[in-house]
Amino acid sequence: MSDQTPDFDPGKDKPSLAAILTPQGRGAIATIGILTPHAIDLVNRFFKPANNRPLTQVPTGRILFGKWRVTPDIMEELIIHFHSSDTLFVHCHGGTVPAAMILRSLKASGCQHTEWNIFASVSSSCDIEMAARIALASAQTSRTAAILMDQFHGALRRVLTRIQEHVLTKRYALAAGSMAALLRHAEFGLHLTKPWKVVVMGAPNVGKSSLVNAIVGFQRSIVFNEPGTTRDVVSASTAIDGWPIEINDTAGIRVSSDPIEAEGIAGAKQHAEKADLILFVSDPNSPWDGEKKRHTVHTPKSILVQNKSDLQTSQLSTAPNQILTSAVTGEGISDLIQQIADLLVPFPPARGSAIPFEESHLETLRNAKTHLEKQRPSQAANCLAELLASSGHAPAKA
């Protein structure tokens, strides 16, 4: 094959990289990303466009349909997207075999095989963009993905650049104010790639499992009219208002001599310690005790759920953060779901807002803010420059 393109030498300058970007397994389409300074030469070796036009006439951004020679006698029908002068995407049939065969032909031509996340990082123009690309793979809802897309398109970078300008032009109060505004999104930003954890706990038989099933909309937990039904922690993934939530049903809290149940109760308490929000489920007819009170006024990230409202006989207290529900009739369930969203994300950011979304962003921002507060503007500027830096491995944009 080398006689077709005598000038093509992939080892000459920057290495050519190829990565399968779609996950393993069955699917209609697989995508291979190729990063190469020799895009046309490389594609010419294998690809015959259906319209027979020379590839040199294909403008950047165009899509071409044709056949790729994976072996001397096997041609694969596929689509090539000429994304930029050095980046191509090959969309072939799904499953593992076609993509693997195309990759093999590329490797035989001197392309280095790399993983999708390495490909994403080297094809990004700055480290924040690179991190956003990789974080997007962990986004579980379209709402969190849209916010990460905003960061990919420069929302965070633009605000950091403005803060850097404020520091360099000695407008320290403006810089400090903007950093504080970014840091207010700290917890939220980390949840763009990690679901919020909601733990449902309370006494046995109050309807915890029934409530979890009502919230997620399917029978995830076993419900039974016998205290001590749920033993282990039962988790379910859902989305509320577009926010990804991991909801955990737990064993009813009581003094138990049964070692398995006692283990389940200990597990419930451990999960509650790591929760972003606790739903403390209780019976509306049970007395207004210290435990109920603790989950209203004293614990901000907690909702007191007075379940079995259909059996309610006594008057409810007027304490805040409590809600009356019935897992049987459905009363109060949609209000409970809304209250969960409001407590977890009280101030959803507007579209296009800058959101720091990695621990390293927050740490560097906090350091920059401290330097500024301690009248060390040059160190603050260094921190910001570090955040805005590129690792230097990004190729030039088309």
Q: In the complex, what is the shortest distance from the CB of residue 327 to ligand GTP, in angstroms, rounded to a whole number?
A: 4
Q: In the complex, what is the shortest distance from the CB of residue 212 to ligand GTP, in angstroms, rounded to a whole number?
A: 8
List, in order, residues 6 or more apart from 303 with CB less than 8 Å away.
277, 278, 279, 280, 295, 321, 322, 323, 336, 339, 340, 343
Residues 215-234 that bind Mg ion (CB under 5 A): 229-230
Question: Is 5 within 8 Å of 109 (Cβ atoms)?
Answer: no
* Nearer to Mg ion among residue 141 and residue 230 (C-beta): 230
Bridge partners of 20?
A: 32
* Nearer to Mg ion among residue 209 and residue 309 (C-beta): 209
Residue 224 touches which of Mg ion, ligand GTP, none (Cβ within 5-8 Å per kind): ligand GTP
Binding interface with ligand GTP (CB under 6 A):
204-210, 223-225, 227-230, 252, 307-308, 310-311, 326-328
* Nearer to ligand GTP among residue 66 and residue 207 (C-beta): 207
Distance CA 282, CA 239 (A): 24
86 residue type, one letter: D
Q: In the complex, what is the shortest distance from the CB of residue 91 to Mg ion, in angstroms, rounded to a whole number?
A: 47
Q: How far is CA 245 from the centre of its chain?
A: 12
* Nearer to ligand GTP among residue 207 and residue 244 (C-beta): 207
Q: Helix, strand or coil for residue 250?
A: coil
Question: Is 131 within 8 Å of 357 (Cβ atoms)?
Answer: yes
What is the DSSP code (8-state) at residue 2?
Answer: G
Residue 328 touches which of Mg ion, ligand GTP, none (Cβ within 5-8 Å per kind): ligand GTP
Q: In the complex, what is the shortest distance from the CB of residue 266 to ligand GTP, in angstroms, rounded to a whole number?
A: 15
* Nearer to Mg ion among residue 278 and residue 372 (C-beta): 278
Phi, psi of 45 (to 5 degrees): -65, -30
Q: How far is CA 17 from the centre of its chain?
A: 26
Q: In the complex, what is the shortest distance from the CB of residue 249 to ligand GTP, in angstroms, rounded to a whole number?
A: 7
Q: In the complex, what is the shortest distance from the CB of residue 103 to ligand GTP, in angstroms, rounded to a whole number?
A: 50
Q: Where do contacts with Mg ion occur on this chain (CB under 5 A)?
A: 208-209, 229-230
